[in-house]
Every structure is written in structure tokens, then in C-alpha cells.
Structure 1
């Protein structure tokens, strides 16, 4: 564990990772954080989970809380590693009855460590981007990834061919691909994580008649 600075923000819109209002609901439950570039990693760090705790402030309980990276903190340069955790997560680090006192500190030193994400029975979900309305272009945001949480590569697999179509990171946790003509759905999606390099295939998760701004839930997770 290393000491870094942590500050208290609201983070209710999902931020630069693209999770949108989902961050307020299960399984994230508002226990989220933005990170500086060493944590956000130009979007590659989206979805990673960290355990954070504080001990140096009198209001700190010393109990850890796990947060998911859902946003970037581009102006956070006062430490090599800087988290801006949600107000809810900030309160979880406090002694009983002292949540507001700890939040009032604004910025504190903490300890942190990278931990596996665990969303229990929740399966990986794919939320199509509002701009995906052209059958030759597909973009979606990927959520609820157990284990590493962040993704190194994503491939789209049309149902009538074994040829995988590589996707590119559009921003944050949103990936995009041009679909060559003749490659029809439904589509499977192959995911590979960053740290462990594990791969998984969500079979036929994107239907042939997919629509923009819709969500498609798989039957798999790491």
C-alpha cells in the first residue's frame, strides 16, 4: 500500500468512462472514484477496482471501501496517485456519525491497493452508444466486468463467420468498430483483460436488430 491524496466529489453522472447514471445503481451503488492519469490511463483504467482507507484523520475508521474507477481527474497533479472518490465512498471510510466531518476535510492521505472487482451474480452488459444507428458502425460501453475490471482488447464476432473484427477504444469504457458489409449479427464479443490477460466470449449478445442507446446483457463474466 502507498500513501496518496484523496478528495471528495459527487460523481453522479458516470464521468469520462461513459457509465452514465448507472454509477448510482447496483452493483456500483455510488461507490466510485475518478483518478488522475496514472489511474485513469487515458480510459484504459476504466472499470478497475481499488480498496482505499484512511487512518491519519481523527474521523477515519480505518475500514477499507472498494471503489470502481468511472471518471478521470485531469487537474489532479498534487500526488503521483490521486483519487477523487464519491461523497458516499468518502463517508464509508469514517467512524460512525463522523461521515460529514470526514467529508469536510476535503482532501486527506489514504492507503490504497488494486483489488479484483466483484459484482457477484451480475453479468457483463453492453450498452450501445446513442450515436450507433448505422448498420455499418457499432459502438457500445462495457460494464460490470469482474476480476481485472479494465479491458485490453475487444473483438466483435459475426455469427456467420469466424473472422473477428477488432474494436478500438472510442473513449473510456466505450469501444467501436466499422462492420464490413456482409457481416451480419447476432454478434458475439470477445473480451481480454489488462492485468491477467484472461479472455471470455459473450456469445450472440448483440442481436442482429440492435438499436442505439439500448442495453444487452450477457450470460457470462470473469
Structure 2
């Protein structure tokens, strides 16, 4: 018997996300409500709720659901907070962030992906999300400072951290994945003062680097 999308979402929560120590009820509710299949390319619809990264565009991917869950839990997004997502992709994480906060600016360097994300989000009635085309690792994003910044691709170096940290409001949180294959580190950086930041290592993982992060660092693979 075919598994419905609703059942698949339930299984994703129970079998992937909860076992990865994501226990925040608000995060679980958001991920149970947002229809991930609405953001997955047609060729991968059957894998919308699988425990894998899904290719999008030429050199990008959707993060695995459990990584999204851990990220959302660490960021602890509160209603009304100003949120920036870097690497918006198809708009899935933006939708989850908006469900937890409200106003989200998503920046995507791939113009085609950005247009598709905007169309998807508008079609779903998620009008509190603005998708922009641009390189958020080269200059500040208009609309800050932000309470939350989520970077949804890896960065091989820490070169962009000063730029990102500088856009955090007092008490603001930044999630990013740093390093290179085979092991990268997900970290949470919190602004605790004008020039002071607290850094917490969250978990080890591995994912594709943001295109602009690779170009900025000069890394080649």
C-alpha cells in the first residue's frame, strides 16, 4: 500500500528527527506541518521524506531532514524574530523558519532556484518570506541586524564569519557548518556583546559547500 505524504512526514519525525535528539515540540510541529514534498524537485518526489540530501540546481542540495531539525532546535527561533537564511534553495528551510518566527529573508545565489522558491512559497500562501538573488557571503544583507541567521550549506573556511557575525543583533544566533570532507562541524554562534561571541560545537556532519563559499575561499575539489 502506498504511504501517504502525511504518513511519511509522521515517519520522518519519529524515525529520523526524534532519534537525533530533536525534542523541541515547536520544531517537531513545524516540520510536521510543512509539506516537504512541495519543495522537492519532481524527479525526487519519492525521496521527499528519506534520510538523505536531495540534489537541487547544479551544485546544491536540500539538507537531510534530521540536520534541518537539529539546526532549527539550536537556533531556537521565537515569534516575531528577524530571520536570514543563506542558501535558500527551494525554500523549504525558509518555510520552517517562518513557521517558527515570522519574517524571513532568504538569499540564494542561483537565480533559477531563487525564482522557483519564490513561486513555491507564494503558491503556498507563505507571504512573510522574501527570497532574494544574491551573494550573502560577500556583503551585508539589507534588513538586518538579524536575530537568527541560518547558513544551509557548508563553508570550507571561516573567512565569512566576521561578516555574518556582524549582522547579528544582541543575543542573535548563527548556525553554520564549517570544514571540508570527510568531517565537518555544525556550530552555533551567539552574540553576547558588541564584540563578544559564544561558540558551541553541535554535531559532526558533511554536506555540499555553498557555491559562493568555495569561490571566496579558493578551494577546489
Per the normalisation by structure 2, the TM-score is 0.23
| Larger Cα-atom Rg | 1
**Greater per-residue helix proportion:** 2
**Greater per-residue strand proportion:** 1
Per the normalisation by structure 1, the TM-score is 0.23
